[in-house]
Structure 1
Amino acid sequence: MSAREVLVVGAGPAGMAAAAAVAEGGCRVRVIDENASAGGQIWRGYGSDPKGGAPRFARLMQRLAAAQVEMVAGTRVVAQPAKGVLRVEGDAGSGDLSFDKLILATGARERFLPFPGWTLPGVLGTGGLQAMVKAGLPIAGKRVVLAGSGPLLLAVAANLAKQGAEIAGIFEQAPMSRLMAFGVSLMSHPGKIVEGLRYGSAVKGAGYRTSAWVTRADGTDRLMSVTVSIGGKAREIGCDYLGCGFHLVPNLELPRLLGCATEEGFVRVDAGQQSSVEGVYCAGELTGVGGLEKALIEGEIAGLAAAGRSAVHLFPRRDRQMRFARKLDEAFALRGELGELAAEDTIVCRCEDVRRGALEGMRSGREAKLHTRCGMGPCQGRVCGPATLFLFGWDAESVRPPITPARIETIAADVSDVASAQDVR
């Protein structure tokens, strides 16, 4: 067992938990992540300060260090040049990493839906705005509107208010009836109720509206105001920033490249978190958007399974978190009216400047690519893909390497000596 090489892609909570569990089982483990430090989006910035308000992050870092897990930051997967090998690229170079078992914990990203003015400077994703503030964007005294869908709205509003932002409104597209039903279902998750109440208290007076959404953003060189539909009536609100995101979608590019089967937008896994591809495990948001607790427990199960150890004792906790994930999806399901926000001249594919009018009448995403290059820009459909799925029902038909922008020499190289990848950072 000690000779088994396990590669973990993603150093967020799921990837960290998986790496710790599999290393403690006697395997040699390497974790790669495109960010500068471990922690993922939820623990962003804690890598340089393990005591930064996340005790579980600190404990996981201690487990990883004790188990001698190799952490490789600033490195992204580009392709699979051969079975059991991933090609990676970092700022210093590229190389190939071999593995006996692979654990994918690539997380999720925000879903964006186009509306007039959504490309203006000052219009950001909800989580993106929070990340920029954490990185040093001055927010004190700025008027901020948060809109879209999902628990992230309240969490980000609370964090920005703590930094001195003036929260001009929080607009959730889901109806109150669904949110109330979701709230009742949380009785079995008291910790989440406490967390929600804490966020709500932090933005008390900011104005949280349900069945409300931004219909347009206006400004000249940058955002100046947004128009919001509240109960069918339009209201204009002046603001400096709009954080707008419609819940989360999993980063499926790598699992799909490897041939992992998906179902209802997520990777299908068995009880041990193994995908349809033998030896490839998936954990966290890839299998269902359910937050931190689900990511940690699934990561632990995937790590134990990859190390050949039993994880049966963890199944009840995982199943409970999966039920929560399904309720989350039901509560924040998108309403049909959002599909009508984009006008004919509204840009849908930002990379290639493709407008909605050019996409009308297309029968598939493939046809849209051939005629308009929609989804063929640097982001490779990561932004417009979920939007066109919602607007037109076009799901990704295939994923081809490179799955992220890469240097030509990286793509063209032969399968290299695996040892050379040790220098990729």
Structure 2
Amino acid sequence: MKVDILIIGAGPAGMAAALAAAPSGARIALLDDNPAVGGQIWRDGPQAHLPPQVHEQRRRLAAQSTIQLLTASRVIAQAGPKQLLVEDAACARVIEYDKLILCTGARELLLPFPGWTLPGVTGAGGLQALIKGGLPVAGERLVIAGSGPLLLASAATAQANGARVLQIAEQASWAAVAGFAAQLPRWPHKLLQALGLWHPGYRASSHVIAALGDSHLQAVRLSINGQVKEVPCERLACGFGLIANTQLGQALGCRIEHNSIAVDNWQASSQVDIYAAGECTGFGGSEKALVEGAIAGHAAVGDLAAARHLWPQRQRWQGFARALQHSFALGEPVKQLATPDTLICRCEDIALADLREHGGWTPAKLASRCGMGACQGRICGAATQVLFGWQPPAPRPPFSPARIDTLLQLGQPE
């Protein structure tokens, strides 16, 4: 398959990039591993309530004859210069492109603590995804802990589906939260959003200590303003912010700065003809992702005037991103939640005590199998970055589990 522009990730950034590039007449492929476009923030499902903007974006994408949607598809490997091997449920194909736009988004940062592997404990964003996908939570008691506005959004989703949200524990201090709130009038839409999400159980300067239970979650031990409190509940959702999905960018040789793909004013990466936009270049919400995606799409087709016209709008939302990251930076207490016997790699049952003696990610992996399980280090790798400052190396193909017949295509001549 040959296209002019291949876009990896069909969240807000990817959708905006495709729509910005489409008027040029370029052949565009928009690829995502989800069954529908929208990314994690606009994830579809039987219990999802998507804003009208999403339906409009989808309608516009469907109306463009030059845009081909490749949903439920994953990138497996680099097949050659400007070629990626892609697999879906039915087949595999090599896609050759002239320009590549990475909109690979971000994933939740999960920090280990005692009991975090108990059934009933999920990520805050993970709980949202499960509920949108049809998970029944009506009548269940829920505690949410971690850091950032996602906690309030997750609570709102759970409450709308009948859950009883008992407590929201935000690790940032009250001063940091108040400082962030004082800046919100600069972005009126965000101010209204925050007011609509406010919950009486919200407590800053608070964090999870442990999840309690035998075969499943029964209670949560929290530190609330320095006071220890145990809350009986059926579910605990913890999220400590986001971490950019940079693996594909790393594998293609893109420069990584501050754990994100480094880009210039045109959203161009350090690699020729590879652009990046959205959360993989630094998280800051759907508004930032939309404008960055549009700039990347315009720049990829050479419409630099249209791209430059969007710079002030991008600067505005990058200001929001900086305020967000500064206010909800992780404090030391949540980096020290794990005890020596707390599992860090839950796929391979590797505890904190088994990792401390190693000086980096690669020695720990070789000695203990940490990161060699089903998630391929996506969870424990991010955790060890926070806990020990370890930097995982660039991933090697295959980037995702793949069928044998898919991998055989790598050895076939053109």
**Does the 8 Å CA contact 2:288/2:317 hold for their aligned counterparts?**
yes
Cα deviation, residue 407, structure 1? 2.1
Q: How does 1:309-324 map to 2 (within 5 A)?
A: 309-310=303-304, 311-324=307-320
Contact 1:96 1:415 in 2 (8 A): no
CA contact (8 A) 1:16 1:64 kept: yes
- Partner deviation per Cα, 1:339-369 (whole Å, 9 max, x = no partner): 2211111100111111100001211101101
Counterpart residue identity of residue 75, structure 1: S
CA separation of 1:60 and 1:416: change in aligned 2, threshold 3 A? farther
Give yes or no for the alignment of 1:361 onto 2:360: no
Alignment of 1:1-400 (within 5 A): 5-45=4-44, 53-68=50-65, 69-200=67-198, 203=199, 205=200, 207-310=201-304, 311-400=307-396
Partner SS state of residue 99, structure 1: strand
Residue 33 of structure 1 aligns with an amino acid whose one-letter code is D
Deviations 1:146-189 (Å, cap 9, x if unpaired)? 00011000111112112111001000000011111111222210
Indicate conservation of the 8 Å contact 1:96/1:417, yes or no.
no
Q: Distance in 2 between matches of 1:414 and 1:366?
A: 26
Instruction: Write out the 4+ residue segments of structure 1 that deviate beyond 4 Å after TM superposition.
Output: 415-418
Q: CA deviation at 1:263?
A: 0.6
Give yes or no for contact 1:82–1:415 (8 Å, CA) kept in 2.
Answer: no
Question: How high is the TM-score relative to the length of structure 1?
Answer: 0.93
**Structure 2 CA distance for aligned equivalents of residues 162 and 322 of structure 1:** 30
Q: Are the aligned partners of 1:379 and 1:404 in contact in 2 as well (CA < 8 Å)?
A: no
Secondary structure, counterpart of 1:413 in structure 2 = helix
Paired with 1:306 and 1:392, the residues of 2 have a C-alpha distance of 38
Work out whether residues 171 and 204 of structure 2, in 8 Å CA contact, stay in contact via their aligned partners in 1.
yes
Cα distance change of structure 1 residues 193 and 135 upon mapping to structure 2, 3 Å threshold: same
Say what the alpha-carbon RMSD is for the aligned residues: 1.7
Offset at residue 415 of structure 1 (A): 5.7
Unpaired runs of 5+ residues, structure 2, are: none
Q: In the alignment, residue 253 of structure 1 is paired with which amino acid?
A: Q
What residue identity is the alignment partner of 2:389? Answer: G
Q: Please identify, of 400-409 and 95-104, the stretch whose mean Cα deviation from structure 2 is larger.
A: 400-409
Alpha-carbon distance in 2 for matches of 1:134, 1:371: 39
Whole-Å separation in 1 of the counterparts to 2:172 and 2:24: 44
Instruction: Output the CA distance in 1 between the equivalents of 2:412 and 2:3.
Output: 20
Rounded to whole Å, the distance in 2 between the matches of 1:416 and 1:218 is 53
Asked if the contact 1:81–1:415 (Cα under 8 Å) also holds between the matched residues in 2, the reply is no
Superposition deviation, residue 231 in structure 1: 2.2
In 2, Cα distance between equivalents of 1:117 and 1:412:
42
Between 1 and 2, higher relative CO (CA 8 Å, sep ≥ 6) is seen in: 1
CA distance in 1, matches of 2:237, 2:23: 41
CA separation in 2, counterparts of 1:42 and 1:125? 14
Deviations, residues 238-288 of structure 1 (Å, cap 9, x unaligned): 010001010111111111111110111111101110100111110100111
**TM-score, normalised with respect to structure 2:** 0.96
- Return the offset for 1:26: 1.6
C-alpha change, 1:160 and 1:4, in structure 2 (3 Å) is closer
Change in Cα spacing, 1:53 to 1:78, as seen in structure 2 (3 Å) is: closer
Aligned length: 410
Shift of the alpha carbon at 1:59? 2.1
Q: Aligned partners of 1:53, 1:353: CA distance in 2, in Å?
A: 38
Check the 8 A contact 1:106/1:251 in 2, yes or no. Answer: yes
| Aligned residues of 1:141 and 1:164 also touching (Cα < 8 A) | yes
Contact persistence 1:253–1:399 (CA under 8 A): yes
Distance verdict in 2 for CA 1:94–1:165, change over 3 Å:
same
- Sequence identity of aligned pairs in percent? 47
